[in-house]
Structure 1
Amino acid sequence: MKTLTLEAPAKINLTLDILGRRPDGYHDMRMVMQSVSLGDTVTVTETTEGFSLLAEDIALPAGRPTLEQQAAESFFRYLGHPMPGLEVRLVKRVPAYAGLGGGSADVAAVLRCLRALYAPELPRSALEEIGLAVGSDVPFCVHGGTCLAEGRGEVLTDLPPLPACAIVLCKPDFGLPTPELFTRVDGADLGERPDASAMAEALARGELAAVAGCLGNVFERVLTGEEGADIRAIQAALLDCGALGAAMSGSGPTVFGLFNDPVKADRAAEVLGQTYRQTYLAAPVKKFGELE
């Protein structure tokens, strides 16, 4: 019986800029993305027939395939082979609708498992192409590490790794509507934009303080007063506890802080955890190997 278990690391956006809406309805992005050690665990097992997804505390879509099933079907269609029976088990740790790419990370881990089990010769670029049909963050989650992401997020350029640090992630108890945020950005005066090139230079120098000084996310510029107040309060708490910098990840609402002192990071997680139950400690994750 073929089976494989892989971790599915979440991601944060060190920078996030939106360049404009494309003719296909998507937006051109320019982001520096980073894998982090907070993640789910994904197990793919071959079965006799059908596709099943087993996960606790997740509401599965009724009457339509899950993203994991769509990814598996796309994988075997790409290979030109019929899909065998498959069971996917998820152990969830990454909060949903948090700007951390948890769902995309799960899909990417399914694809990585399938490649290892059925087509180890398949290049990662093909797996990223398959993943893009399922979600814009999936190619990066297949790739992992530290990348400049352009286009919809699928044009990936490896960057020097984020220096060793502690990362505190804090998700407030509300969600942000991603489609609406993109609509708010269209035509908005976003002011000074996050500088992905400066971020890449800071990473090349290996200077965590410089990296922290380049953090930025244009979605923060279009939050409502109430949304923005909560995000800024978490950022302020992280900075008060010693973070070198703090920003919102993706379309939020999770805020992360970068720490060069693990003791200060522990303290920040403790302080924020008293108010926000979804508070986590993490570390950077490097690029995944060509084969798992």
Structure 2
Amino acid sequence: MKSIVVEAPAKINLSLDITGIRENGYHNIDTVMQSVGLCDTVTISRMSGQGLYISCNQPRIPCDETNYAHIAASRFFERFGRPDTAISIDIQKRIPSEAGLAGGSADAAGVLVGLNGLLNVGADVDTLCRIGVTVGADVPFCIMGGTRRARGVGEEFSTLPAFPSCHILIAKPAAGISTAESYHRYDRSGARRHPDTERLVHCLEQADLQGVAKEMCNVLSEVAGLPAIEEIRAVMLACGASGAMMTGSGSAVFGLFTSRGQAKHCMRKLYGLAEGVFLTRPVGYGAVVLDTRD
């Protein structure tokens, strides 16, 4: 039966501010996000029979109705109808979980883009994003990708100039952080420093990597409560990173390097501190079809 293969990039937050909380408990944010070349691969296949089946190369990832990929497929079928065959979704994960890298949202984006192509639905990006935001706040960004500012609960986007060329080193400590717990901690204690997002955007418009690095700020980093985060950040800066910061709700830390050699040297230094270390680059795309197979 026919299959489609989708590459689903992770994201990093160059800045993250919380600007308020809504009556329903959701937080208003102001963030600048960037897609990176660290990707999961989502393969969607039509099979004989009926039903929706999820598989994953990571045993810790649940393959039931709680998986974002399953939720995304179900929402897609609610909008466009169920196919007359079974659907199998296989996820080859490289993006760490509980890292602030939007791994689950990337998979959901891959499912929406993949089903759209596999089933020849022809939905446009806006339609897929409207479905995606019902799955998770980061899913629309993971569909579109690139360099974007997001406001509201993460669904109001403005496109920014392409991120300056650089090497991005990502290190994930063994301990993860629950997104919900991270926001709860922020609600209890707040943050001493907030990002100047307008200045960061100006630096992006000037293709000023050093300026971007200087303006990076994440209000959730103050409440993360993991010593390994600051240890990793300190190593990155000591190894020559222009800037280093926790991404999203954590626990992954990224560093921006102009020199690949320095980034590789830092990578070796971090193997003892982090569960996973990845050297990647900024990319200008979100979930994208790599291949179709009959």
Band the TM-score falls in, shorter-chain normalisation: over 0.9
Answer whether contact 2:9 2:287 (CA < 8 A) is retained: no
State the Cα distance separating 1:240 from its structure 2 match.
0.6
**Per the alignment, do residues 87 and 189 of structure 1 end up closer, same or farther by CA in structure 2, a change over 3 Å counting?**
closer
**Per the alignment, do residues 54 and 267 of structure 1 end up closer, same or farther by CA in structure 2, a change over 3 Å counting?**
same
State the Cα distance separating 1:198 from its structure 2 match.
1.3
Q: Secondary structure at the match of 1:284?
A: coil
Answer whether contact 2:110 2:287 (CA < 8 A) is retained: no
Is structure 2 residue 119 aligned with structure 1 residue 118?
yes
Equivalent-residue separation in structure 1 for 2:62 and 2:173 (angstroms): 25
Answer whether contact 2:144 2:286 (CA < 8 A) is retained: yes
Q: Secondary structure at the match of 1:96?
A: coil
State the Cα distance separating 1:76 from its structure 2 match.
2.2
Match of 2:27 in 1: 27
State the Cα distance separating 1:290 from its structure 2 match.
8.9
Equivalent-residue separation in structure 1 for 2:188 and 2:76 (angstroms): 38
Deviations 1:40-98 (A, max 9, x none): 11101111221111112234548645321221121122124556410011111111111
Equivalent-residue separation in structure 2 for 1:182 and 1:30 (angstroms): 14
**Per the alignment, do residues 59 and 273 of structure 1 end up closer, same or farther by CA in structure 2, a change over 3 Å counting?**
closer
Answer whether contact 1:172 1:278 (CA < 8 A) is retained: yes
State the Cα distance separating 1:25 from its structure 2 match.
1.4
State the Cα distance separating 1:117 from its structure 2 match.
2.1
Counterparts of residues 209-288 of structure 1 (less than 5 Å): 209-224=210-225, 227=226, 229-288=227-286
Equivalent-residue separation in structure 2 for 1:269 and 1:291 (angstroms): 30
Is structure 2 residue 49 aligned with structure 1 residue 37?
no
Match of 1:75 in 2: 76
**Per the alignment, do residues 27 and 80 of structure 1 end up closer, same or farther by CA in structure 2, a change over 3 Å counting?**
same
Counterparts of residues 16-165 of structure 1 (less than 5 Å): 16-48=16-48, 49-59=50-60, 61=62, 64=65, 66-80=67-81, 82=83, 84-119=85-120, 121-165=122-166
Equivalent-residue separation in structure 2 for 1:58 and 1:150 (angstroms): 34
Deviations 1:76-131 (A, max 9, x none): 22124556410011111111111111111011011111112224531101101101
Equivalent-residue separation in structure 2 for 1:254 and 1:59 (angstroms): 18
Equivalent-residue separation in structure 2 for 1:240 and 1:164 (angstroms): 21
Q: Secondary structure at the match of 1:16?
A: strand
Equivalent-residue separation in structure 2 for 1:6 and 1:63 (angstroms): 20
Q: Higher mean Cα deviation, 139-148 or 77-86?
A: 77-86
Match of 1:9 in 2: 9
State the Cα distance separating 1:230 from its structure 2 match.
2.1
Equivalent-residue separation in structure 1 for 2:64 and 2:165 (angstroms): 44
Deviations 1:116-150 (A, max 9, x none): 22245311011011011111111111111111011
**Per the alignment, do residues 8 and 83 of structure 1 end up closer, same or farther by CA in structure 2, a change over 3 Å counting?**
farther
Q: Higher mean Cα deviation, 103-112 or 268-277?
A: 268-277
Equivalent-residue separation in structure 1 for 2:45 and 2:289 (angstroms): 18
Q: Higher mean Cα deviation, 280-289 or 258-267?
A: 280-289
Q: Secondary structure at the match of 1:174?
A: coil
Structure 1 unaligned regions, length at least 5: none
Q: Quick one: percent identity of the two aligned structures?
A: 39
Q: Higher mean Cα deviation, 279-288 or 6-15?
A: 279-288
Q: Secondary structure at the match of 1:38?
A: strand
